[in-house]
Amino acid sequence: MKAIGIACSPRRNGNSEVLVREVLNGAGDGAAKVFRPNEMKIRGCQGCYACKEKGRCVVEDDMQELYREIEEADIVVFGTPIYMYGVASQFKVVLDRLFAFLGPEPDFKSSLPNGKRAVLVVSQGYEDAQEYGAHIAQMKESLRVVGFDEVKTLVASGLNELGEAAKRLPLVQEARMLGRALRSA
């Protein structure tokens, strides 16, 4: 089983990254690669639809490495904080570029192998875990449409200080349990 993490916070070792690592630990892959799109050269989707004609994205940047890693992984753990009432822009750029995994119209069939599982870890400063539920549901559905058979979510609310999630034992345990559940699925 191969698992990877994609920590989309601009803050290194931020709360979403801490929890991405804990999910990976629970999945039994504490040594898994964790990518930080904020430190990579990833352009936004160009809307050119070349991926529908050529079967791959034609934009040559660091997203090409993420495509390969996602295709090879059984589990992908995405992490994003909530900024300005929505997911971080780094996550949105990656999500938009995952459009390349979808085939041409009319069915937009995913080219990802069956059986892929994903976790969407969302950290937020706001205490009410349901406050951004609509955004989180939309991102979860987008990952499912891209080709992940199963998408679990972990919403970590009331986190404002850098790395604060690591000090919340129940939250760390929940992240690890989520990883174990994916491993045994």
Structural domain containing residue 164:
3-184
Provide DSSP, 115-146: T-EEEEEEE-SSS-TTTTHHHHHHHHHHHHHH
- pLDDT per position as a tens digit, 51-94: 999 999 999 999 999 999 999 999 999 999 999 888 999 999 99
pLDDT tens track for 14-30: 999 999 999 999 998 66
CATH number at residue 140: 3.40.50.360
Helix H or strand E encompassing 24? helix 15-26
Q: What is the pLDDT of residues 135-167, one digit of tens each?
A: 899 999 999 999 999 999 999 999 999 999 999
Length of the chain (residues): 185
Nearest to 36, CA basis, from 57, 82, 15, 5:
5
User: pTM for the full model?
Assistant: 0.95
Query: In terms of Cα–Cα distance, which of 65, 73, 165 is closest to 125?
Result: 165
Number of domains in the chain: 1
